[in-house]
Amino acid sequence: MPQARRERQKKCCGCIFSLGALALCLWLLFVTTKPTCSIEEFDVFALTKTIPSSSPTGHNNTIYYDLKLKNRNFNKGIYYDTLNLTFYYKPNLVNDFPIGNATFTPFYQGHRKSTHRFGDIEAKGVKWEHITKLAIFRVELATSVRYKHLLWKTKRRRFMVGADLKVNDEGSLVKVKGKKGIKLTSNAKNDIGHFQVLGILGILLFIHSC
Ligand SMILES: *[C@@H]1O[C@H](CO)[C@@H](O)[C@H](O)[C@H]1NC(C)=O
Ligand SMILES: *[C@@H]1O[C@H](CO)[C@@H](O)[C@H](O)[C@H]1NC(C)=O
Ligand SMILES: *[C@@H]1O[C@H](CO)[C@@H](O)[C@H](O)[C@H]1NC(C)=O
């Protein structure tokens, strides 16, 4: 009798384990990770002492930027809608004003792929001579994305991220740990990322407990 019970328990355990594995597979199939966006370069030529200016005001208002977009999903492509970038200058902690826009045409990005979008903006209205040490800019990105699963596409999801950009007195972007670009983040509180981690932890605990 106890022998039979043990057998039954074993079977049950195996069954629960398979269920857990199935749930994990389904989760991996359905879960989506948002793209990672970062500004890799942000060259403010007005602050680059070595570049002589050709403009009558004595300042070269051109800013060059390099935006990197990365799809971290290992099995899902991403369709981006028209992507809008807006740049702001922040003369102090409370104020900011727009200095330039850019629009990029819709595109598709395969899984685990990275891509760059570059451009120039003409930053008018910035009082360059007032900048002593650090200049603070802000970038906002707005688009919608659809994720491509094996057989279908998800609905459009609004995707909005932004970041402050610190530029030193040589006109270069102040990066994180010397090398990495500045990551654009969302203000949205309920970022799905945390739930994904909780989900996988839950499943692992579930499997472990049987
Ligand atoms: C500003 O400097 C950049 C980099 O040298 C140059 O490509 C650009 O033509 C300059 N723009 C003006 C208006 O002088
Ligand atoms: C950015 O685009 C908006 C809407 O198209 C426009 O009103 C605004 O003047 C633009 N700003 C700059 C700095 O070009
Ligand atoms: C991007 O800009 C275009 C034109 O300014 C506008 O029609 C569109 O709604 C914007 N898209 C997003 C996601 O803000």
Per-domain boundaries in the chain: 36-209
Per-residue pLDDT, 51: 56
Point out the ligand nearest to the CA of residue 103.
Answer: 3
Does the C-beta of 84 come closer than 6 Å to ligand 3? yes
The confidence score (pLDDT) of residue 209 equals 65
pLDDT the model gives residue 98 = 95
Q: Which of 61, 101, 124 to mutate to test the pocket of ligand 2 (most atoms within 8 A of CB)?
A: 101
Q: Ligand 3: does its nearest atom lie under 6 Å from the Cβ of 18?
A: no
For residue 53, pLDDT beyond 80: no
pLDDT band (50, 70, 90) for residue 149: confident
pLDDT(210) > 80: no
Superfamily of domain 36-209: Immunoglobulins (2.60.40.10)
pLDDT of residue 113: 96
Among residues 68, 148, 78, the alpha carbon closest in space to that of 114 is found at 68
With beta carbons less than 8 A apart as the criterion, state whether 22 and 164 touch.
no
Average pLDDT of 62-66? 96
pLDDT digits (tens, 9 = 90+) for 9-32: 777 777 777 788 777 777 777 788
Question: What is the overall mean pLDDT for the chain?
Answer: 85
Write out the DSSP string of 65-128. Answer: EEEEEE---SS-EEEE--EEEEEEEESSSS--EEEEEEEE--EEE-TT-EEEEEEEEE-TT--G
